[in-house]
Structure 1
Amino acid sequence: MSLVRNLATVSGFTGLSRILGFVRDILVAAFLGAGPIADAFFVAFRLPNLFRRLFAEGAFNAAFVPLYAGKVEAEGRDAAQTFAEQTHAVMFTFMLLLTFGAMASMPWVTYALAPGFEDWALKVSTQEAINLKADGLDTVLAIPSEFISKLAYAEQLNMITFPYLFFMVIVALFSGMLNSLGRFAAAAAAPILLNVFFIITLVLIVPRVADPGRAMAWTVSAAGFGQMLLLYISLKRAGLNMRMRLPRLSSDVKTLMRRMVPGVLSAGAMQINVVIGTMISTFQEAGVSFLYYAERVYQLPLGMIGIAFGVVLLPELARKLKADDQKGAMNSMNRGMEMALLLTLPATIALIVMPWPIVVTLFERGLFSRETSDATAIALMAYAAGLPAYVLVKILQPAFYAREDTVTPFRLALVSIVLNIALSLVLFQFIQYVGIALATAISSWVNVLMLWIVLVRKGHLSLDGRFISRLPKILASSLVMGGVLWSGMRWVRPWFDGALYEKVAALSVLIGAGLLVYALLSLLLGAVRPADFSAMFRRGKA
């Protein structure tokens, strides 16, 4: 299978999911804004979202894919199927017990996720519904009277959303099996269901109910079941029938667990950092919401580029290393980093230079005020500083996983997480929620630096001449593009105070001008060549 074609498949579906996610978040922003209900729901959604990203977006693949693919190659599909069924039985049982245990201790779980909520009381009740009419948006928000604080309300929402964790672990297993067989489409398309379910709920249900937070929480669990069902059907179509077995820790399953735990934690270091940031931000009113909306914006380029590389590059490297093609593996790493920086550096510059127009255009309507836009834009700028690092981690870690080494990136990720906690606590005292976003960016760059040093010392990474010559050209093209965007904002700034169509037009002009300048400069300076695209097309057809 072609690396480029597979990247296009995963990036395409992931990109569609991110776009639908934007539609979802635009609606969430309009209906909930950055108020107490939004804060409570985002906390309740944070843990399920963490599991989705840890397991379903590549981290589980890091441990499972090499083992499953090795079984297919060495012992055939039957042996691989037995291994998958044993894994399914163990994970199914573990997650079932974890789900029941967590729901029984939900007050403590919620307090751990949102310790700052204890100090914030909700200001609405069933008898005091707030009618919201802004930009033509009509809805009614009310919180049942038994919820006397954001902490208690978040606890109830957590009870509803927690089963999503169970579904995501099973989804990760099914995705790993399909990816190992070169079937990337279904696994990449599954997250789309979550956003489709959300959009339907926000459009048809939320405006008609008194408790929108609870309606959205039920949507999370329903979407998780839908994703699991979709991948189960895809497995059946691929000729794989998952039979239920009694859980047994076979030698293969033990090997998987030894690799999976550090692999999941290391691959999910950034997401763990985001959860830590959420916990700290609960001590500032609306801090959770500001960070959530900012994170949603930078997740679009991260999702389309970083996750695609994390999913596709690992099997590519594993195959080349099993064939003892060290030169080919090194070339894949260099081309992966080159392509990633070609896409993320301009995105980073754009998000740093013009975060405010993006946030205003995407979210500012309904309950999402100008003050909320200003606060979210600052957080987006801080997060964006780490965007290349977030993607490079997704490229560098597979170089360890393909060699069945999950311990090294795990140890380095722990250093990154500890650093993030320390920086977040310190910076929060001075610049509040912005310090949390900045700490996430800094700790991610430190993680990249540590991964890079270890790979170079082990002889697993060496920059080739093409990468070294093109990197300065990519950076120069990105900086000039940033200058054009900065100048252009002065001309179109008044448009962002107008109607939605004026905001969209202004943002489109800025983005179009930036893309044109960057594309022309990249070609003129040689950051990318027309022959690269024709070569990609030929490989995609192969």
Structure 2
Amino acid sequence: MFGQIVRKTLTIGIATFVSRILGFFRDILIAFFFGTSDSAQAFVVAFRLPNIWRSFVGEEAVNAAVVPVLSEYQGKGKDEDFWKLSISLLKFSLVFLLSLAVIGSLLAPILVRLIAPGFIYNSSKYHLCVKLTRIIFPYIFLIGMTAVVAGIVISRRIFWSYAWAPVTLNIAIIISLLLVAKKFGIYALALGVIIGGIIELILQWIALNKENPLRVKTTFFHPEYKKIFNLLIPRFLGASVYQINIFIDTVLASLEKIVGYGGIAGLYYAQRFVQLPLAVFATSMATAILPFFSENVATNSWRKLSENLSLSLRTVFFFMIPSAFVLTILGKEIISTFFEYGKFSAYSTHITSSALSFYALGLFFYAGIKILVSTFYSLQRPMIPVKISLISLFLNASLSIILMFPLKLAGICLATSIAACFNFSLLLSAISRKVNLNLKEIVISFAKVFLSAGVMGVGLICAKYWLGNIVEYKIIRLFFLLMIAVAGYIAVSLVFNFKQTISILKWRRKK
């Protein structure tokens, strides 16, 4: 089973990586066409409105609430019950999301005033934002329906449509910008979002139809809705805690007399690079394991659950620990290569790379949290991670206030990493009481991976100073350094005979 989890994770991870690269190119095009103009600001606000709702009705929320319940039917072979609940969910979601889209579009003027009150002093910007909101808000219907269909498909262990959907969205936006931005201006961007949302939904629907859903009669309200909502409400609370964390970090980073000039921008750019390995490896695996773990719970296969959880944690450590070393050692080179142009000065590189280095210290803890939270959802015990995240929120805020005085912006990032370590430790302790987890095996694996990454890191530091004297162009130097890091880590991991390396090589041969 673990081989299946690795293959599903890699499928999602590769698609996520492609999506992130396309997203980066999309942002470059948006900056090229619209810069920081009034129209660009109006679009950002208009697009943020449905994305706020996405935290509550989007793919992560739906996966956390729907997949464990549907996987229980799947694991017990109750095919008819599976499709009854699935079709009922589709009917309910269709009505609810359509109503939400219509209400949101009608209330666009009020919503814009709430989220961007400063726009009311610029009449043209305000009215443009209202128009864009009315065009874009139906995206919440598209992405919500996409999430529900994807949740059904994921419960059947089909991941390709879910993985590649964000890629189609970015492609639609890019094509729209390239073809009609000069003619329609910012409306081309809104058009790309809607077209991309339609394509995402069609992609999920194709995957669903390939599963030959049973034609069964069902009611609009299903008895299992209570169980789904019991899982969904903690997901809402968890999303709220995450948003509060971001808000606190942003407020503290804005105190330029303490943390220095440009703190908010420095945090934003550093987070972009931390999120890349986190999304490609940890979020992908957290999505892939949910139906497998839920089925283990439904069939009382506790030994399998324990083994799969242990292997999942060891796998994210296998990827995240070397990623943390690379981001810490090459942080300055990465930021300088990608951003140090125009108004992004050497000072900007300095504060951003220092933020990146301290964020990277907690990278494997952020990843471990995602795995453990998914496990609690498969156990249908979602309130445990919510309570722990609330404690971690207060710890993060307190440490940020203390550490930002001696360490400035880096202190806020270090506080986040320490809070993540605390969060992970509490989650691991809690899950060990629910599942008979072999902690000794996990600790030994962690030590071996850390040693392997350390050996790679020493070689990378030597290579950095050596190449710095003979390779002039930054992007070529960074490329060679990254290749050295990957090759060096794989070589050392083969010496330790990591199961993860062998699984990846087997997957490549099957391709």
User: Is the CA contact 1:29–1:366 (under 8 Å) kept in the aligned structure 2?
Assistant: no
Q: Tell me, what secondary structure is at the counterpart of 1:404?
A: coil
Which of 420, 426, 431 is equivalent to 1:450?
426
Other-structure match for 1:229 = 202
Q: Secondary structure at the match of 1:146?
A: helix
Pick one of 153, 160, 170 that aligns with 1:178.
153
Aligned match of 2:274: 298
Change (3 A) 1:388 1:107: farther
Distance in 1 between residues matched to 2:387 and 2:69, nearest whole Å? 22
Q: Hey, what does 2:286 align to over in structure 1?
A: 310
Structure 1 pair 375–43 and aligned structure 2 pair: CA distance change class (3 A):
farther
The answer to whether the 8 A contact 1:193-1:223 is kept is yes
CA pair 474-38 structure 1, distance change in 2 beyond 3 A: farther
CA displacement 1:398-448 (0-9 Å, x = unmatched): 221222212222222333345556666777899887666555444433321
In the alignment, is residue 462 of structure 1 matched against residue 464 of structure 2? no
Aligned CA distance change for structure 1 residues 380 and 407 (closer, same or farther; 3 Å): same
- Asked whether the 8 Å contact 1:389–1:445 carries over to 2, the reply is yes
Give the conservation status (yes or no) of the 8 Å contact 2:7–2:507.
Answer: no
Q: Distance in 1 between matches of 2:321 and 2:19?
A: 22
C-alpha offsets along residues 246-275 of structure 1, whole Å, 9 cap, x if unaligned?
Answer: 8x4432112211111213543785466446
Paired letter, 2:506: F
Query: After the TM superposition, which residues 144-159 of structure 1 pair with which residues of structure 2 at under 5 Å, given as runs?
Result: 146-147=124-125
The C-alpha deviation readout for 1:457-512, integer Å capped at 9, x for no partner, is 344433243x332322211222343344344444555899x7xxx23211111112
Measured after TM superposition, the shift of residue 538 of structure 1 is: 8.7
Match of 1:92 among 85, 91, 94: 94
Determine the C-alpha separation between the residues in 1 that align with 2:265 and 2:368: 27
Find the counterpart in structure 1 of residue 78 from structure 2: 76
- Out of 489, 496, 500, the position equivalent to 1:518 is 489
Q: 2:337 pairs with 325, 347, 361, which one?
A: 361
CA distance in 1, matches of 2:350, 2:183: 30
The 3-state SS of whatever aligns with 1:169 is helix
Q: Tell me the secondary structure at the aligned position of residue 488 of structure 2.
A: helix
Which residue number in structure 1 is paired with residue 69 of structure 2? 67
Kept in 1, the 8 Å contact 2:453–2:489? The answer is yes
For the residues of structure 2 that align with 1:540 and 1:333, how far apart are their CA atoms?
Answer: 25
Distance 1:277 1:203, change over 3 A: farther
Q: Which letter maps to 2:222?
A: S
Partner of residue 239, structure 1 = 212
Per-residue deviation, 1:45 = 4.4
Q: Is it true that 1:341 corresponds to 2:317 in the alignment?
A: yes
CA shift, 1:540, in A, is: 9.6
TM-score for the superposition, normalised by structure 2: 0.82
Q: Deviation per CA, 1:355-390, whole angstroms, max 9, x where unpaired? A: 232233334557766665555434433432332122
Task: Give the partner amino acid of 1:259.
Answer: L
Please show how residues 51-200 of structure 1 align to structure 2 within 5 Å.
56-74=58-76, 76-103=78-105, 105-106=107-108, 109=111, 146-147=124-125, 160-200=135-175
Tell me the amino acid that sits aligned with residue 161 of structure 2.
Answer: A
CA drift of 1:70 comes to: 2.4
Preserved contact between residue 84 and residue 217 of structure 2 (Cα < 8 Å): no
Q: Distance in 1 between matches of 2:276 and 2:343?
A: 23
Task: Tell me which amino acid in the other structure corresponds to 2:291.
Answer: P
Paired AA for residue 227 in structure 1:
E
Q: CA deviation at 1:349?
A: 1.6
| Cα distance, 1:394 vs structure 2 | 1.7
Aligned length: 504
Q: CA separation in 2, counterparts of 1:220 and 1:436? A: 34
Question: Which residue matches 1:129?
Answer: none
Shift of 1:312: 1.5
Query: Residue 297 of structure 2 aligns with which residue?
Result: 321
Q: Is the 8 A contact 1:481 1:514 kept in 2?
A: yes
- Of residues 335-344 and 101-110 in structure 1, the stretch that sits farther from structure 2 once superposed is 101-110
- What is the aligned counterpart of 2:449 among 436, 455, 474? 474
Alignment deviations for residues 4-42 of structure 1 (CA, whole Å, 9 cap, x no partner): 222222222222222322333444455666788766655
In the TM superposition, residue 344 of structure 1 has moved relative to its aligned partner by 0.5
Q: Cα deviation per residue 1:66-118 (whole Å; 9 max; x = unaligned)?
A: 21122345573332222122223333333344444445555665566568x68
SS at 2:381 equivalent: coil
| Residue of structure 2 equivalent to 1:131 | none
Segment drifting more, 69-78 vs 81-90: 69-78
Q: CA 1:286 to 1:52, structure 2 compared with 1: closer, same or farther past 3 Å? A: farther
1:533 partner letter: I
After superposition, the Cα gap between the structure-2 partners of 1:329 and 1:72, relative to the gap in structure 1 and judged at 3 Å, is closer
Alpha-carbon distance change, 25 to 375 in structure 1, aligned in 2, over 3 angstroms: farther
Cα 1:332–1:536 shift into 2, 3 Å: farther
d(CA) in 2 for partners of 1:30, 1:446: 42
Partner amino acid for 1:324? N
Residues 1:537 and 2:506 are matched in the alignment: yes
**Which 5+ residue runs of structure 1 have no aligned equivalent?**
123-144
Instruction: Give the Cα–Cα distance (whole angstroms) in 2 for the partners of residues 488 and 521 of structure 1.
Output: 16
| CA deviation after TM superposition for structure 1 residue 335, in Å | 1.0
**How far did 1:292 drift?**
3.9
Q: Which position in structure 1 is the counterpart of 2:227?
A: 255
Q: How high is the TM-score relative to the length of structure 1?
A: 0.78
Other structure's SS at 1:147 match: helix
Residue 125 (structure 1) aligns with: none
Which one has a larger percent helix, Structure 1 or Structure 2?
A: 2
> Which of 21, 24, 44 is the matching residue for 2:23?
21
> Gaps spanning 5+ residues in structure 2: where?
none
Instruction: Name the CA shift for 1:459/1:229 in 2 (closer, same or farther; >3 Å).
Output: closer
Give the whole-Å Cα distance in 2 for the aligned partners of 1:366 and 1:32. 17
- CA shift for structure 1 position 187: 1.2
* Aligned match of 1:509: 480
Provide the C-alpha distance between the structure 1 equivalents of 2:130 and 2:362, rounded to a whole number of angstroms.
32
Separation (CA, whole Å) in 2 of partners of 1:200 and 1:330: 46
Q: Cα 1:363–1:228, aligned 2, differ >3 Å: closer, same or farther?
A: farther
Cα distance change, pair 393–19 in 1 and its aligned pair in 2 (3 A): same
Q: Give secondary structure in 2 for the equivalent of 1:251.
A: coil
Contact 1:34 1:290 in 2 (8 A): no
After TM superposition, the structure 1 stretch with the greater mean CA deviation from structure 2, 314-323 or 429-438, is 429-438
Distance 1:240 1:49, change over 3 A: same
Does the 8 Å CA contact 2:175/2:192 hold for their aligned counterparts? no
